[in-house]
Structure 1
Amino acid sequence: MSLNIRRKWVAFPFLVAAVLYGAESGTQLLVQVRPEALLLQQDENAVGLRIRLASGTMARIWTDRSCGLPESDTYLVSRSGTYIIPFSAIENKGATTICLSSSDGSISTSLQFLSSR
């Protein structure tokens, strides 16, 4: 009988250690979602946009030859999502580059628009 009690006392510290270790260990997962944008030519009349904006920011889309400063008549996007933008809404005579810039500066991209016009 004393051997049986001795086995229980030997196993007890391991049981306590396992419970304490399980109570203190945990798993954390950190996910960062960053702003990004993707411009795609849909056809010769429209451009597709998939965008994820930071809270409180907007994106401007315009056509230009060099994607310098945005024109005053830019197309504004204020929410994340998927958009189909008619080329006529952003067209600038002679410009074939579609430019995008976010108001916080975290996104800046462009797309060479291929047109058969």
Structure 2
Amino acid sequence: MTQKREFFRVAIERNGQISRGAEVVPCEVLDLTEKGFQIRTDIAGGIGDRLELDFQLTKGAPIHCTVEITYAAAPQFGARITSISPAHQHCLSQFIEQLNVLNLTGF
């Protein structure tokens, strides 16, 4: 039996950066939910690795969080958020909610 997602997945294309200690590399956030991301990057990583993610969700809405890799198929991986400030979580939730409202109303 497959597990169904409980959060809306939103396709976006945002440039950002992923870091592990002193290693910092560019990345592209491909899609997101309130709990995680799909990311394309050249950083080497495996399931369970924790990384720092920084990107601009919208102008004036930076997102910084710690993520843990849950799926890895280089150069892409899925990651769940393990640490995020309440303000950044709120921005992420509002962004997804606004997009879902627009999609449901047909705009």
* Normalised-by-shorter TM-score class: 0.3 to 0.5
Bigger RCO of structures 1 and 2 (CA < 8 A, at least 6 apart): 1
TM-score (norm 2): 0.33
> Which structure has greater strand proportion?
2
TM-score by length of 1: 0.31
Determine which structure has the larger helix proportion and give its number: 1
Larger radius of gyration: 1
